[in-house]
Structure 1
Amino acid sequence: MKRHEFIKISGLAGLGVAIFPNFSFKNFSEEFTRNQLIGKGNPDIIGDSYTSKMNKLTKEAFNKMKVAAAKENINLEVVSAYRSFQRQKEIFEGKYRRFTSQGLSPENAIEKIIEYSTIPGTSRHHWGTDLDIIDANAPRPANVLMPENFHGLGPYCNLKVWLDKNAHKFDFIEVYTDNGNRKGFRYEPWHFSYAPVSIPMLREYQQKIDVKKMLSEEKILGNEFFSEAFVDRYVKENILDINPKLL
């Protein structure tokens, strides 16, 4: 191993141990490829469905968290985990076609999509580290991923209280917090990220991925309307304006 690589990995490992008590040195022992970072293939992903596919270290940590939650009659259920580039592309382009056919301009359609949905190649779900979580023991509303379900008299209030108190013990951090000063994606009380893997992936994403170039290369529908100013704002607000514990 080259000296500068050893220093880089050792430094990141030390940081991980200081912040996350369950951190393992092996989490930082590899660099990530472009395909891994944009959701086009990752040997570290295990599982066989969109609710069970996730990074192998994320799955280990989630299973431990699930056991702990069960002791308090909370049944952690993942409703969305790893999402491939192709699947995110289908979601984004389906919404783009629908909104533009309803009369929205391409620019306004894109703005509406990114209130909740990511542009393919930029989703944290591409990494297999991020999970959308509900409580399978609670009454299931028609639309499970709604903020009101996690507050007040919502069915997932007990889950939210438990996650706020315990998720960090397993190195899971809420991504899109209820912070009035935060821009980008709206509040998602169900979305948690396995920080020991997602933090280094985000850092390498910033180093390796030119978002505007990638979107053009991948021929995302509507990419001609992704101006330089839009992409700069999207990166700043939608990719980076997250819980600071994940930066």
Structure 2
Amino acid sequence: MHRLLRDMLFGLSDAHVILEPDSGQLLHPEALTAFDQLRRDAREAGFHPRVVSGFRSFERQRTIWNAKAVGQRPLLDSECRELDVACMSPEEIVFAILRWSALPGGSRHHWGTDFDVIDAAAVAEDYRVQLTPEEVADKGVFGPFHCWLDQRIAEGKSYGLFRPYGEDRGGVAPERWHLSYAPRAKEFQQMLSGALLSEQLLSCPQDAEVMLADTVCAAMDDIFTRFVAVPETAYPTNMYRL
């Protein structure tokens, strides 16, 4: 694999993303075009979609991962209850992190095709977004927007954007706020493998190591299937290409 392509795949380069001016986030150009089209329709319906997290680098994801691995950030179970890292085995810690946070190198945010979105019209400007299940539930603060979006996706009117984690498949917890531009994201996913991901994790220098990398690599087959690769059936059958 060409070095530049590998760097884009793992979030080691931002050469493939551009600025989304309203949020200051970085997105793949095609994902941004799709979002702009969806945002136009949403505003006509009274919503104001805003990206709150777009491209995320390998280093940023590594920082999140390592902080959870040592208990500097809360580690949550499937019911969002805080876990005690000190009482858990390395494998238990790894799978608990993966429930809510992607593995460095295995995050779809690296590609710029995926982003988290809210309805800015539903909250005050100083509202602190948490991206919790409660916020995006039908009766949550962002519920009306997501119900509208559900219908758009079901009708094939979301310009190729879909929810890769729209349901619980026994891996990543459902993330109703997470959208992905299907055509380009699928291409990136097809380039990725468990072997490549393990190689990347184990090649990090000592001063930039991914904690618990050995534990991750030992369980990579299971991890890649459940927490990295989105099933073919989850992608739209007719992917909209810009």
Q: Is the 8 A contact 2:20 2:27 kept in 1?
A: no
Residue 44 to residue 209, structure 1, CA distance change in 2 (3 Å): farther
Residue 227 to residue 194, structure 1, CA distance change in 2 (3 Å): closer
Residue in structure 1 matched with residue 31 of structure 2 by the alignment: 58
Q: Secondary structure at the match of 2:38?
A: helix
Q: Is the 8 A contact 2:114 2:179 kept in 1?
A: yes
Residue in structure 1 matched with residue 213 of structure 2 by the alignment: 223
Superposition TM-score, scaled by structure 2 size: 0.79
Cα offsets for 1:32-83 (capped at 9, x unmatched):
7111111101422111798520111111111111111000110001111100
Matched, 1:144 2:119: no
Range 232-241 or range 83-92, more displaced: 232-241
Q: Is the 8 A contact 2:201 2:210 kept in 1?
A: yes
Residue in structure 2 matched with residue 108 of structure 1 by the alignment: 92
Q: Is the 8 A contact 1:177 1:242 kept in 2?
A: no
Paired AA for residue 235 in structure 1: F
Unaligned runs of 5+ in 1: 1-29
Q: Aligned equivalents of 2:38 and 2:4: distance in 1?
A: 26
Q: Aligned equivalents of 2:14 and 2:5: distance in 1?
A: 9
How far is the alpha carbon of 1:198 from its aligned partner?
A: 0.4
Q: Is the 8 A contact 2:68 2:97 kept in 1?
A: yes
How far is the alpha carbon of 1:106 from its aligned partner?
A: 2.2
Superposition TM-score, scaled by structure 1 size: 0.78
Cα offsets for 1:220-243 (capped at 9, x unmatched):
221122243x11000011112447
1:9-24 matches, cutoff 5 A:
none
Q: Size of the alignment, in residue pairs?
A: 214
Matched, 1:184 2:156: no
How far is the alpha carbon of 1:155 from its aligned partner?
A: 1.2
Q: Which protein is richer in helix relative to its size?
A: 1
Q: Is the 8 A contact 2:138 2:146 kept in 1?
A: no
Residue in structure 1 matched with residue 55 of structure 2 by the alignment: 82
Residue in structure 1 matched with residue 81 of structure 2 by the alignment: none
Q: Secondary structure at the match of 1:112?
A: helix
Q: Aligned equivalents of 2:139 and 2:14: distance in 1?
A: 40
Q: Aligned equivalents of 2:143 and 2:114: distance in 1?
A: 20
1:101-180 matches, cutoff 5 A:
102-139=86-123, 143-167=129-153, 168-169=156-157, 170-179=159-168
Match among 9, 13, 17 for residue 45 of structure 1: 17
How far is the alpha carbon of 1:191 from its aligned partner?
A: 0.6
Match among 197, 208, 227 for residue 184 of structure 2: 197
Q: Is the 8 A contact 2:85 2:93 kept in 1?
A: no
RMSD: 2.6
How far is the alpha carbon of 1:204 from its aligned partner?
A: 1.4
How far is the alpha carbon of 1:211 from its aligned partner?
A: 2.0
How far is the alpha carbon of 1:177 from its aligned partner?
A: 1.9
Q: Aligned equivalents of 2:3 and 2:180: distance in 1?
A: 19
Paired AA for residue 197 in structure 1: R
Paired AA for residue 205 in structure 1: L
Residue 202 to residue 227, structure 1, CA distance change in 2 (3 Å): closer
Q: Aligned equivalents of 1:96 and 1:57: distance in 2?
A: 34
